Amino acid sequence: MIPLSWYLIFAAALFCIGLFGVLSRKNAIAILMGIELMLNSVNVNLLAFWRYLNPNFVAGQVFTVIVFAVAASEVAVGLALIISIYRRRSTIVAEEINLLKY
Amino acid sequence: MTTESIIWLIPLPPVLAFFLIVLFTNRNKGLSHSIAVGAAFLSWLGSMVVFWRAIHTPELGEHPFTSAINWLPMGNSWFTIGIQIDPLSAATLFFVAWTILMIFIYSVGYHNYGQPAGDHDRPGLPPHGATIVDEQGHKHKVPSIEPMYSRFFAFIGLFAFGMYLLVLSDNMLTLFVGWEIMGLCSYLLIGFWYAKPSARAAMIKAFMTTRVGDVFMLLGIAYLYSQTGTLNYRNIFYNEEILRELASTPSYIAGLSAAGLIGLLLFIGAVGKSAQFPLHVWLPDAMEGPTPVSAMIHAATMVSAGVYMVIRIFPLLTAGAGHGVMTSTMLIISIIGAGTALFAATIAVAQNDIKRVLAYSTISQLGYMMAAVGIGAYVAAAFHLITHAFFKALLFLGSGSVIHGMEHGVLHTGEEIDPQNMLNMGGLRKKMPITFWTFLIGGFALSGFPLITAGFWSKDEILSEAFGNAHWVVFVTLALAALLTAFYTMRQITLTFLGKPRTKSAEHAQETPWTMTMPLVILAVFAVAAGWVGIPEHFPVIGGIIPNWFHSFVGSTLLEEPEAVSFNAIPLLTSLVVALGGLWLGWMVYKKFKAGETDPLENWLGSIYPVLKNKYYVDELYDVVFIKPAIWFSEVFTYLWMDRKVIDGILHAIAFVAYQLGSIFRNYFDKPIVNGSGDLVANVTKSTGRSLRVMQTGRVQQYMVMALFGFITISGLMFYLIQRLILR
């Protein structure tokens, strides 16, 4: 059986990739995608811990499902906003969406 | 109401009137004078009720009306404010109330109430007259109303309060308070027309001169208090034990007893107030004030207050001496009194200003009273005080009326003459009949016209007392003074009223309004009738028809009632001769006086005349002896040396040192340390802020990078610490 630490290393790598994406990309959709990656790395963690530590309890799976639901609705709202911004300002570069800044 | 409560209320209306006028009604002239005259009337009414009850109280001398309240705590005892009506103060109250009321009424007319406002009148100057246009279109100059009308009534209201307070007081302290209030009012009213430099000089002169006397008087009061522990009249002057003790205590000054020294000090106060030589100089100059003021303050009431006070302390003066023996204080008083009487009378002879003659006459008559007190003629002094107040008030008001009439003439004709100079008058008899007759009565009373006038009886009594007690010097001096008095009075009457008008203004003079003549008539009645109460019982023919009520009434104020001197023909003949002789001389010399002539006296007296005219050069002497050195001292020593050099020098040195010290502190402490540390804090904050500003990019992703590094650093640190410290 694959040891637990592999899953955790994988999840951490995934989280770092996601974090890198959030911090470094200019494209708002790419930033959103980075966030998704980070959320999913958490899901991997949750499932891994559930399976290896407490397989009798259903709580880990439920948590994961809730995170999926939240992530889906967040993406739905986020993309809707981005499309709306794109229609008005013809850009989705995060730095240029600065109407509320100063 | 009990008599005591009425007495308490008497002084109040005038002082209320003062405050009412000053605070509220001073813009309304009619209301102001109504309040003042109304207040004077109330006080008069109260005084008359009190006087009426006083003369109907048997043994008033032993049981006077008294009442007192505590005022200032003084160790074990109190200074009190109290009232007392004994026969002396009742008699004084009588004439004070009458003269004050009359003069209040007179002032309404004197200040031209009801006349139009003047063309160029300014507050602080006498009214110059107004131009009115009558129905035919002719222009007339008429007298104009006084610009500071209300102010005048406020001041005389305050004055009346002071006088009533003085008369009604039962102790030396409240007497002194009233005394000083009157001094203030005298100052204010002499300088009523303050825009005139002469009035300003006169007001200061009057205040300073009386101040000299007042300082001594205060010393006397303090000495009296330290010796007896009380200032109440009755406790001192009606108390044989205290009087004997005072008389037997030596004072260590000039061999006087304590009683003698106190008497002398208080007398010096009266010398200042009653304008006796050598402090008489202020009174003639005080004629700068309006005439009602001259009549009330400088003839009838305030200057009488000095004599009243000396009469009041009479038991103190005689203390320790047998009957008919003069103490050294009394000797001084009689010498100064008699000397002043003659001295002032000689000056009055050579004066041409109608009011100045009367001013010197007042000094002279007050000298008479002082001399009377000095020779121990207690009742005679009080008697002359009262009759003199009436006829001198009458004469002053009469002279005011004359001046008023003359001013009318001056305005009418436009002449440029002095309306107060008697040489410019003449023949006013027909123009101003009421003024003439009343002035004549007053003048005759002053000269002591035999039998009918009040002045005769009071003056005769003083002379016969002087004669009867064998004070020859005083007798002769007073008789000479009486001769001169009759002479200058007749000179005045002749120059003013008789003969023919010497100027156009005198031709056009006019009788004054009823507010001025009515007081004249009433005072004229008293100038005659006031003498009837004191006709000696042994006088030939008419003596005893009217009992000598005054003598027994006022005499009962003393512990030991003075005896009336027995009748002697010599003083009577003397006063007849001097009075009639003086009047005859005055008439003979001046009846043919014409306009433009020099005064006949000037030819006869030769080189003495300028001396009299210039008042024996006393003013000049004082100028050289006191005023010039004082001014020199204040200018050269005090100002130039002491003030400018010494005090200013010290101040400048202090300022220099302080300035230097300040700049040292500034340069070496304030700037580098205080400012430096303040700036340092600010600069550090600023540069820190400047260097940290770089991080504030406004980009969320960068913040997050920073947060990530921060998080990693902190978690690394914590991990390390937990490893090292806890999990070891």
pLDDT-derived band at B254 (thresholds 50, 70, 90) equals: confident
From chain B, pick out residues whose CB is under 8 angstroms from the CB of A19: 708
Q: How far apart are CA A27 and CA A95, in angstroms?
A: 9
User: Which residue among A23, A101, A102 places its CB closest to the CB of B701?
Assistant: A23
User: Which residue among A23, A101, A102 places its CB closest to the CB of B704?
Assistant: A23
pLDDT-derived band at A102 (thresholds 50, 70, 90) equals: low
Residue of chain B with shortest Cα separation from A22: B701
Do the Cβ atoms of B539 and B545 come closer than 8 Å?
no
From chain A, pick out residues whose CB is under 8 angstroms from the CB of B700: 94
pLDDT digits (tens, 9 = 90+) for B326-382: 788 888 999 999 999 999 999 998 888 889 999 999 999 999 999 999 888 888 899
Residue of chain B with shortest Cα separation from A21: B701
Residue of chain A with shortest Cα separation from B702: A23
A4-94: CATH topology is Helix Hairpins (1.10.287)
Residues 6+ apart with CB under 8 A from B485: B345, B348, B361, B364, B365, B446, B447, B448, B582
Which of B696, B700, B706, B709 to substitute to test the interface with A, most A CBs within 10 Å?
A: B700
Q: Which residues of A touch B (CB under 8 A)?
A: 19, 22-24, 94-95, 101-102
Reply yes or no on whether the pLDDT at B649 is more than 90: yes
What ipTM was predicted for this assembly? 0.75
Q: How many CB atoms lie within 10 A of CB B708?
A: 13
User: Which residue among A19, A22, A95 places its CB closest to the CB of B699?
Assistant: A95
Mean pLDDT of the region B671-680: 92
Average pLDDT of every residue of chain B:
87
How many angstroms away from the CA of A20 is the closest CA of chain B?
Answer: 9
Mean pLDDT of the region B705-711: 91
pLDDT digits (tens, 9 = 90+) for B198-208: 999 999 999 99
User: Which residue among A24, A94, A101 places its CB closest to the CB of B698?
Assistant: A101
Q: What is the pLDDT of residue B544?
A: 66
- Helix orientation angle between B433-447 and B472-497, rounded to the nearest 10 degrees: 170
Residue of chain A with shortest Cα separation from B706: A23
pLDDT digits (tens, 9 = 90+) for B587-625: 888 888 877 777 787 777 778 888 888 888 888 888 888
3-state secondary structure chain A: CCCHHHHHHHHHHHHHHHHHHHHHCCEHHHHHHHHHHHHHHHHHHHHHHHHHHCCCCCHHHHHHHHHHHHHHHHHHHHHHHHHHHHHHHCCCEHHHCCCCCC
pLDDT digits (tens, 9 = 90+) for A35-90: 999 999 999 999 999 988 888 888 888 999 999 999 999 999 999 999 999 999 88
CA A1 from centre of chain: 28
Work out the end-to-end distance of chain B between its first and last CA atoms, rounded to an integer number of angstroms.
111
Among positive and negative, which fits the CA dihedral B358, B359, B360, B361? positive
Residues 6+ apart with CB under 8 A from B236: B224, B228, B230, B242, B243, B315, B316
From chain B, pick out residues whose CB is under 8 angstroms from the CB of A95: 699
Q: How far apart are CA B637 and CA B643, in angstroms?
A: 8
Residue of chain B with shortest Cα separation from A31: B701
Q: How far apart are CA B381 and CA B330, in angstroms?
A: 13
From chain A, pick out residues whose CB is under 8 angstroms from the CB of B701: 22-24, 94
Q: How far apart are CA A84 and CA A6, in angstroms?
A: 41
Q: How far apart are CA B223 and CA B264, in angstroms?
A: 11
Tell me the residue type at B648: D
Q: What is the pLDDT of residue B63?
A: 84
pLDDT digits (tens, 9 = 90+) for B477-523: 999 999 999 999 999 998 888 888 888 888 888 888 888 889 999 99
Q: Which residues of B602-629 are buried (b: 16+ CB within 10 A; e: fewer)?
A: eeebeeebeebbebeeeeeebeeeeeee
Which of A23, A26, A96, A99 to substitute to test the interface with B, most B CBs within 10 Å?
A: A23
How many angstroms away from the CA of A23 is the closest CA of chain B?
Answer: 5
Element (H, E) at B494: helix B472-497
**pTM summary value:** 0.77
Which of B699, B701, B702, B704 to substitute to test the interface with A, most A CBs within 10 Å?
A: B701
Reply yes or no on whether the pLDDT at B322 is more than 70: no
Give me the residue spans of the domains in chain A.
4-94
Residue of chain A with shortest Cα separation from B707: A23
Which has the closest alpha carbon to B86: B528, B505, B486, B561? B561
User: Which residue among A23, A94, A102 places its CB closest to the CB of B705?
Assistant: A23
Among positive and negative, which fits the CA dihedral B401, B402, B407, B408? positive
CA separation (Å) from A26 to A33, A64, A71, A75, B705?
12, 29, 21, 17, 14
Inter-chain touch B705–A95, beta carbons under 8 Å: no
